[in-house]
Amino acid sequence: MAVRHFLTLNDLSRDELRALILRAIELRQMQHNGEIYQPLKNKVLGMVFEKSSTRTRVSFEAGMTQFGGHAIFLSPRDTQLGRGEPIEDSARVMSRMLDVIMIRTFEHEKIERFAEFSSVPVINALTDQYHPCQLLADMQTWTEQRGDIAGRTVAWIGDGNNMCHSYINAARLFDFQLRIAAPEGYLPDTAILASNEDHARLCATPAEAVAGADLVVTDVWSSMGQEEEQAAREKAFADYQVDAELMAQAAPDALFMHCLPAHRGEEVAAEVIDGPQSVVWDEAENRLHSQKALLEFLLG
Ligand code: CP
Ligand code: NVA
């Protein structure tokens, strides 16, 4: 059987995604009950990080340990990958020793090339283009709080970045309507938008996007690798902060999510992220459970 990768949400069918979310909810309950469950004994996950991480690293590493397996942290500073060993060679060598590999990098093409030459599943732990693992956690969190997200409305406020692209894919796969408010020059990829046009559309203003929305989501104005653009971005995004006034225009029981790390006073006001509609801590915790469900699925 061909090896399954998870480079974008599109690598799984709607039914597989749905089952994975339900399994993640079960795994969370099991973990909270102190149940020992070790389906990945002696399995090893390689974790290649070319960018910083708190949640992704800790959740994958803790998840593998809880599953009875092991995780190896691989930084480009210490591996030959960082000294120019070809991706194709690295993929062939690492996949002969590891059972599954997760990669956080810059260009999405890099992870596609790695996956092409890997004999074991490759998981996208964030590229410049997508962040599918975060969407698993977000969809789990929504489902736990409110049930099925099908038919609901989600507002994306801010940068048309990797998270926004994964939300666009999620809108089609989980069947919700996504309204995106992003400033000119920072819109999401037109091709990704076009292939999901039944489920995602651009709005002229944040107010238009959030009107009556069930879920409001934002992310940092400058992603990793865009640090020098910070000043220009602060200017461009000045009217795109999710504050209490904007949140009040969403549905009365709307939830707020943010993949974190967050910058209070920039993309989100403290009163929102630390307020009663925010579910960001569950969302962060669910990285652990949903990725365990993903590992179980890919290695099952
Ligand atoms: N949300 C997320 O991926 O966080 P980290 O960058 O800390 O892994
Ligand atoms: N868009 C952010 C997400 C961080 C988890 C970034 O790429 O830096």
- The predicted-structure confidence for 203-238, as pLDDT tens digits, reads as follows 999 999 999 999 999 999 999 999 999 999 999 999
The closest-lying atom of ligand 2 relative to the alpha carbon of residue 222 is 8
Query: Residue 1: which pLDDT band, with cuts at 50, 70 and 90?
Result: confident
Q: Residue range 185-190: average pLDDT?
A: 98
Ligand 2 pocket, mutate which of 103, 131, 134 (most atoms under 8 A from CB): 131
User: φ, ψ for residue 297 (rounded to 5)?
Assistant: -65, -50
CB 137 within 8 A of CB 286: yes
User: φ, ψ for residue 181 (rounded to 5)?
Assistant: -115, 110
In this model, does residue 258 exceed pLDDT 80?
Answer: yes
Per-chain mean pLDDT for the chain: 98
Strands 70-74 and 100-104: unpaired
Predicted pLDDT at 20: 98
CB 62 within 8 A of CB 5: no
Quick one: DSSP state of residue 70? E
Write the pLDDT tens digit of every residue in 51-76. 999 999 999 999 999 999 999 999 98
Instruction: Tell how far the Cα of 223 is from the centroid of ligand 2, in angstroms.
Output: 5
- CA 123 and chain centroid, separation: 11
Q: What angle do CA 236, 275, 155 make, to 5 degrees?
A: 45
Report the residue count for the chain: 300
* Domains in the chain: ranges and CATH: 9-130+286-299 (3.40.50.1370), 134-283 (3.40.50.1370)
CB 67 within 8 A of CB 292: yes
Alpha-carbon distance of 263 to 236, in angstroms, equals: 16
Across the chain, which distance is largest between two alpha carbons, in Å? 54
Q: Per the residue annotation, which of 199, 259, 277, 289 is the catalytic one?
A: 259
Contact residues for 148 (Cβ-Cβ < 8 A; gap 6+): none
Q: Residue range 270-282: average pLDDT?
A: 98
Write the pLDDT tens digit of every residue in 92-136. 999 999 999 999 999 999 999 999 999 999 999 999 999 999 999
- CA 45 and chain centroid, separation: 19
Predicted pLDDT at 287: 99
Ligand 2 pocket, mutate which of 108, 219, 237 (most atoms under 8 A from CB): 219
Residue 256: CB atoms within 10 A of its CB come to: 22
Run of H or E residues at 157: strand 153-157
Does the annotation mark 104 as catalytic? yes
Instruction: Tell how far the Cα of 130 is from the centroid of ligand 2, in angstroms.
Output: 9
Output the six-digit token pair for 6: 């998870």
Residue 204 vs residues 177, 187, 210, 276: alpha-carbon distances, Å:
16, 11, 11, 28
Residues lining ligand 2, Cβ inside 6 A: 126, 131, 161-163, 219-220, 223-224, 259
In this model, does residue 17 exceed pLDDT 80?
Answer: yes
Alpha-carbon distance of 270 to 244, in angstroms, equals: 9
Does the annotation mark 78 as catalytic? no
Predicted pLDDT at 6: 99
Residues lining ligand 1, Cβ inside 6 A: 53-56, 126, 134, 259-260
Predicted pLDDT at 119: 98
Output the six-digit token pair for 250: 């969403």
Exposed / middle / buried, residue 253 (Cβ in 10 Å: 0-12, 13-18, 19+): exposed
In this model, does residue 278 exceed pLDDT 90?
Answer: yes
Q: How far apart are the first and last CA of the chain?
A: 13
CB 291 within 8 A of CB 269: no
